[in-house]
Amino acid sequence: MFEKNLLANKKILVTGGGTGLGAAMAKRYAELGAEIVICGRREQILADTASAISTATGGTVTPIQCDIRNPDSVEAMMDKIWSTGPIDVLVNNAAGNFIAQTEKLSSRAVDAILNTVLHGTAYCTISAGRRWIEAKRPAVVLSILTLSALRGAAFRTPSAMAKAGVLAMVRSLAVEWGPRGIRTVAIAPGAFPTAGASQRLTPKNSDNRARTDIPLGRDGDHAELANLAAFVVSDQAGYLNGECITIDGGKQFKGDGGSNTDMLLNWTDADWAEMKRKAQGG
């Protein structure tokens, strides 16, 4: 259903583009004709992903090491990108999350999530937006959320707070920047497992459970999210602004039945200790 040149002549920056959903979106954008920039903290992973996408698609993919938690690092990245031409689309995908008992979180643990998900997203968006507005350029900002932005998430409180803040940013800027020709949109994915998230978020006794919490009975495929992400940043979605689209197989309409929350409420201290060890890679 997508024309091969749907995103031709567009330059797209994907934060957290070295792995998981970020890499899947970057590849799809390249397949549809866009020039891609991916950023993240791990230089070798970025380089490997950029090479793999370029080889698979024939497109131009530039990796840039950047810690979006650091505003100076973000500004340096944007200066480097703009030196060869502005981006047309920013995809705020970089994130972090883990499960934990909220009352036991340290301030550093809270900041670890807020600094990436909320502050880093704001730094990137404002930095790009300032440049677009100064140049009077139309553009699109796509922010990848989670269902927790819409309804909260027990045992994932900092992430839910941060994602809800990003959604507020999307809706605020839709009004403020819309008259400047800059669209802001969001996608809230449901279950799209990635290696990193599964390690940090999947309880030890639910790794292989049936997806009874999802009406379609399965997890999402990365290609399904990537296709939606391609449409919403394309000119074909030019009247979409300030909206958050949920793609979750209908999970949001089933309530909490079959979710992990009831299980987590009954965990022992030993269960939590094991989860902490697992999240730390032990």
Query: Splitting the chain (282 residues) into consecutive groups of 10 residues, what average pLDDT does each group show?
Result: 92 97 98 98 97 97 98 98 98 93 94 96 98 98 94 93 97 98 97 68 52 86 97 97 96 66 80 83 64
The answer to the question of residue 1 being in a domain is no
The answer to the question of residue 18 being in a domain is yes
* Residue 21, domain extent: 11-279
Kind and range of the H or E element at 247? strand 244-247
pLDDT of 88 reads 98
Could you count the other beta carbons within 10 Å of the beta carbon of residue 95?
Answer: 24
The answer to the question of residue 252 being in a domain is yes
Pairing of strands 182-189, 244-247: parallel
Query: CA 114 to CA 94: how far, in whole Å?
Result: 12
Query: What b/e readout covers 38-64, taking b as 16+ CB neighbours within 10 angstroms?
Result: bbbbeeebbeebbeebbeebebebbbb
The answer to the question of residue 101 being in a domain is yes
Q: Is 185 helix (H, G, I), strand (E, B) or coil?
A: strand
pLDDT of 260 reads 67
Q: What torsion, rounded to 10 degrees, do the Cα atoms 231, 236, 238, 244 define?
A: -30
The answer to the question of residue 229 being in a domain is yes
- Output the pTM of the full model: 0.88
pLDDT of 267 reads 86
pLDDT of 278 reads 80
Q: Is 45 helix (H, G, I), strand (E, B) or coil?
A: helix
Strand order in the sheet with 61-65: 61-65, 35-40, 11-15, 89-92, 139-144, 182-189, 244-247
Domains in the chain, number: 1
Are 25 and 229 within 8 A, CB to CB? yes
The answer to the question of residue 182 being in a domain is yes
pLDDT of 249 reads 92
